[in-house]
Each structure stands twice: as C-alpha cells, then as structure tokens.
C-alpha cells in the first residue's frame, strides 16, 4: 500500500466520520475491522474497504476496493435486500472538498446500507437468550434454502480442504508457542488423517453437485434476526476459491460457532432442520462434518493469532485461540454411534424427549433426530395416513438412519412404533449397522394423552383424541425388551428416566458408548 493512497483514505475517513455524508444529523459511530471501516449514522451505514494488502487479500488501490465492494453488494443483496442498497462514490468537488455521490471525480467508493439495530445481530440474539428452538430450526432451513440457490462448482472438495490445511500449517506452526500443549501438531496430524480417509467421498460429492460458491464466512456475526427470521449477510467476497466449498463445510462454521458458545441444543436443532430440508441428500456426507468443524475452529484460532501479531498485541488472544484449537482436536476424536428409538402413543411426549436427548447424545452437535411426523410432511404435499403410507414413511426414516449411522452419527428415531414390524425393523437396523440399540417406550393413561393432544398447537403431528382412541384399541403390545418410561409426569421426570435407561443399556453392552456419548 502506497503512502499516498493511505493519506488519501485518511481524508475520506475524516470526511465520513464528520457526518457530512449523512442526511440525518447526529453522532457517527466509526467501527473498524481488519478489512473495513464502517460509519454508522442514525438510519444509514456507509462501508469502505480498508487500504491494506495481506497475504490473502489486496485492497491497496481504489479500483481494487471498488471491485470488492461491487462483489460484496452482488453477493449479499439477494439474501439481505432490507440492508444492502447500492454503491456510491466519495467525490472531490472543484473547490477540493469531498462529497458523497457528487459530480466530481471519485476518490473512494462506499457501500450504502440501511442500518440495523445492534440487537438484531445473531451474536446479541444468542447472548440475550433469544436464540430459541424455532429460531435455531429456522437457521438450518434458511441456510439450506440459500445453498439451494448457490452455483455449483467443479472444484474438488478434497483439494480445497488440503489447501486450507497447508495454509493452517504454514501460519499456525510458527505460532504454536502461543498456545502450547502440542495442539497445533495434534490438529494437523489428525485432520490430515481424516482427509486422507475422506478424500474419495469428498471427490464424489464434488461430482454430484455438493461443492458450490457458498457464503464462505457463515458464523453468528454474519447472521441477523429480522422480523423473527434469520438473514445471511457479509458473505466472503475477496477470494472466490475460499468461498467455494462443500455445502456442509459452509454449514459447519455455524455449527462450530454454536458449539463454541455452549449452544449445543441450538446447533443440534439447526443441523437436524438442515438435514430434514435436504430430504436425506446430505446424510451420507455428514461423515465429513467432524473434519469440517475442526478446520473451521482452527481457522478461528489462526485469525485470532494473526490479528494479534499484525497489531503488535502478541499473545492477547492466546487463551481463546487455545480454546479453539482444543475444540478443533476434540471434533476429530473417535465416537461410536448408537441407535435410540422412542416409541409410544400420541401425546406421550416422544418428540420433546427426543429433542432433549439429541443435543447431549454424542459430541456437539449431537445426534440426528428423525421424526415420522416431520418426515411425512417434508416428503409430500398431500399428507397420507393410510397403512401403506405409514409404512413408507418408516421405511424412509430407516433408510436415512442407516445412512447416518454409516456416516458415524448417533440417531434418535421418533415415532409411535405401534406395529411390531416397525419395532423389529429398528432393532434389525442397529444389528446390521453393528451399533448399540436402545428402545424406549413411553406410556401414560389415555385421559392424559387426550388432554395433551387437544391442547397442543402448531405441531407437525395431527393426532387428536380420535387418533389416541384408535391407537389404544390396537392389539399389538410393545416388545418386552424396550425399556418402559412413565410419561405421565413432568418432562424432566421422563428425561431423567430416559437418561438412566440409556446409561444402563449402553453401559451393560460394554461398548464404551456412554463414555463417548455424554448424557
């Protein structure tokens, strides 16, 4: 970056910070990042690219900065039209003064945006406890809907990850002394072992359209909550190859960030919602999710250490960087999957219990929760409850479960399982996959079940009092080896009983599953 260009941008910064570029009077708040300057007025935000050149980014000339802002606008306006407006020049008048969008020659370009409230930022939403179950599920659906619009790339997924690991090696190895504990070496060794094993599958996913020009920087700071709906913004614009990736690698940044913040339930719900929206198309690819999340965590550590080094604050972020690297290593730890089935009549609380168990059954983001009611409604526009249709839904759920178990994921099946053939099929599935199995059977008096199904609203299940009565009249009893849970009391009571049952079942199997699947 030339000294002349730096001085010219300093003048622009003073101009924008003065408030002269804003129509509404008031204090202008100046926010700086390593790549940009953002100026916040009363209802308007102006963003310019910082005049810098890094190893991975060149913003050293006005033309380069203009091009990057154009790309940023093109990428983000489709997903966040309520924020992104247009590009405007900062011009110099004949008298030498600067003006926004004047008639003189441009000296800098600014991205003009509508200002959003700070409490719309997803980090603020999470910190305030507003990242509720519906919001977490909406995150998964919105990200999947975005990925469906992304252009497919011919880049090879394994090569993309290999290049990232090489860059992490180059940057992190000299900085290992700042984190210690051999974490850098442990991460690099384990991640490369995983990549070597997964390379054929990643290349196969590339060939079948799972590698796309995606968001590239999909963590909580680049998400908003506006009118109750998640909004993606600030996609990575400066490097097309870095933003080109397997869609699950794109999703993994969000899941890793949620796990890092201790929001395992939200991570689990977002993942399950994404997979449901994908209708099983991403289930097999989940075998790569631990590697993807690990790499994302290591990248966060690298950025922290690089920023400290660039600003002369060496070691300032070493504690958080160490946490990220520890997380990166832990994502690559081996974990044995299990299959859990939760059955019982409508109103026994199967879905509530399955959700409570899913986030804590296995390493974050936990087990994949498959539910017959949501599989039915996601799979067809006309909901059919005929015997043949019910059988088809269970068959579809079992197929998804087989793929997920083969990918190393614990699965929770959630359905009534009132037919013996369905219960036998679940147990047979576990045997074929060579994983531990536990069937939980929830029961409660019919009067309680009728009251519960009558009171619930907005649920995927359409069961009512008539359905409960028909279920109660069915002749087939549960299999004796499914563990019965008294579901007539509180949700917490059912959860405690289920956890005890799972610990007993898997502990007795001697497989070490309980140790690797925190409950």
253 half-sphere exposure, CB direction, 13 A CA radius: 22
Give the residue-averaged pLDDT of 382-396: 76
Per-residue pLDDT of 264-316, as tens digits, reads: 999 999 999 999 999 999 999 999 999 999 999 999 998 888 777 666 676 77
Which helix (DSSP H) or strand (DSSP E) does residue 147 occupy? Answer: helix 133-149
Per-residue pLDDT of 329-380, as tens digits, reads: 999 998 899 999 999 988 888 999 999 999 999 899 999 999 998 887 665 5
- Average the pLDDT over each of 60-74, 467-481, 483-497 and give the range with the smallest value: 467-481
The tokens of 2 are what? 């030339």
Per-residue pLDDT of 303-334, as tens digits, reads: 888 777 666 676 778 899 999 999 999 999 98
102 alpha carbon, distance to own chain's centre: 43
Name which residue leads in pLDDT, 458 or 219: 219
Distance between CA atoms of residues 303 and 300, nearest Å: 5
Instruction: Answer for the pair 517, 338: CB distance below 8 angstroms, yes or no.
Output: yes
pLDDT band for 516, please (50, 70, 90 cuts): very low
- Average the pLDDT over each of 97-106, 431-440, 455-464, 486-495 and give the range with the smallest value: 455-464
Instruction: Answer for the pair 171, 306: CB distance below 8 angstroms, yes or no.
Output: yes
pTM beyond cutoff 0.75: yes
| pLDDT tops 70 at residue 29 | yes
- Ramachandran sector of residue 121 (left: φ over 0; alpha: ψ -120 to 50; beta: rest): beta
Distance between CA atoms of residues 345 and 14, nearest Å: 68
- H helix intervals, 332-371: 350-358
Distance between CA atoms of residues 374 and 3, nearest Å: 60
pLDDT band for 514, please (50, 70, 90 cuts): very low
Strand, helix or coil for residue 211: strand
Instruction: Answer for the pair 292, 259: CB distance below 8 angstroms, yes or no.
Output: no
- Round the CA-based radius of gyration of the chain to a whole number and report it: 26
| pLDDT tops 60 at residue 1 | no
Q: Pick the closest to residue 151 from 84, 210, 216 (CA basis).
A: 210
As a whole number, the mean pLDDT across the chain is: 89
The tokens of 450 are what? 């009728």
């Amino acid at each position: 970056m030339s000294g002349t260009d730096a001085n010219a941008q300093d003048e622009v910064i003073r101009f924008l910070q003065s408030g002269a570029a804003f129509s509404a009077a008031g204090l202008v708040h100046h926010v700086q990042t390593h790549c940009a300057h953002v100026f916040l007025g009363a209802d308007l935000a102006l963003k310019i690219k910082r005049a810098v050149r890094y190893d991975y980014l060149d913003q050293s000339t006005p033309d380069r900065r203009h091009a990057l802002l154009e790309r940023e606008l093109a990428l983000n306006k489709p997903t966040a039209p309520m924020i992104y407006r247009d590009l405007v020049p900062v011009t110099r008048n004949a008298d030498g003064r600067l003006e926004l969008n004047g008639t003189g020659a441009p000296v800098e370009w600014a991205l003009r945006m509508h200002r959003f409230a700070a409490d719309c930022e997803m980090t603020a939403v999470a910190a305030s406890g507003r990242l509720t179950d519906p919001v977490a599920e909406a995150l998964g659906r919105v990200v999947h809907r975005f990925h469906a619009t992304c252009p497919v790339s011919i880049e090879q997924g394994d090569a993309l990850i290999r290049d990232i690991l090489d860059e992490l090696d180059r940057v992190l190895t000299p900085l290992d002394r700042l984190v210690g504990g051999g974490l850098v070496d442990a991460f690099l060794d384990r991640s490369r072992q995983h990549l070597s094993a997964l390379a054929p599958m990643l290349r196969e996913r590339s060939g079948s359209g799972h590698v796309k020009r995606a968001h590239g920087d999909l963590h909580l700071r680049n998400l908003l909550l506006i009118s109750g709906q998640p909004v993606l913004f600030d996609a990575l614009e400066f490097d097309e190859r870095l933003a080109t990736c397997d869609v699950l690698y794109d999703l993994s940044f969000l899941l890793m960030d949620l796990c890092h913040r201790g929001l395992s339930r939200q991570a689990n719900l977002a993942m399950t919602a994404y997979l449901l929206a994908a209708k099983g198309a991403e289930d097999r690819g989940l075998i790569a999710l631990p590697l993807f999340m690990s790499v994302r965590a290591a990248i966060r550590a690298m950025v922290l250490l690089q920023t400290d080094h660039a600003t002369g604050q060496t070691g300032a972020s070493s504690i958080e960087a160490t946490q990220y690297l520890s997380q990166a290593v832990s994502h690559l730890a081996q974990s044995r999957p299990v299959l859990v089935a939760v059955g019982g009549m409508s109103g026994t609380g199967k879905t509530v219990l399955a959700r409570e168990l899913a986030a804590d059954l296995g390493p974050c983001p936990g087990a994949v929760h498959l539910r017959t009611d949501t599989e039915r409604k996601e799979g067809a526009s006309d909901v059919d409850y005929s015997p043949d249709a019910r059988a088809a839904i269970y068959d579809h759920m079992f197929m998804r479960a087989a793929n997920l178990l083969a990918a190393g994921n614990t699965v929770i099946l959630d359905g009534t399982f009132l037919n013996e053939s369905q219960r036998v099929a679940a147990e047979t599935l576990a045997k074929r996959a060579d994983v531990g199995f536990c069937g939980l059977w929830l029961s409660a008096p019919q009067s309680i079940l009728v009251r519960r199904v009558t009171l619930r609203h907005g649920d995927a299940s359409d069961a009512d009092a008539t359905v409960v009565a028909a279920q109660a009249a069915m002749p087939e009893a549960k299999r004796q080896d499914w563990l019965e849970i008294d579901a007539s009391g509180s949700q917490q009571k059912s959860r405690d009983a289920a956890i005890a049952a799972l610990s007993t079942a898997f502990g007795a199997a001697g497989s070490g599953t309980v140790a690797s699947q925190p409950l």
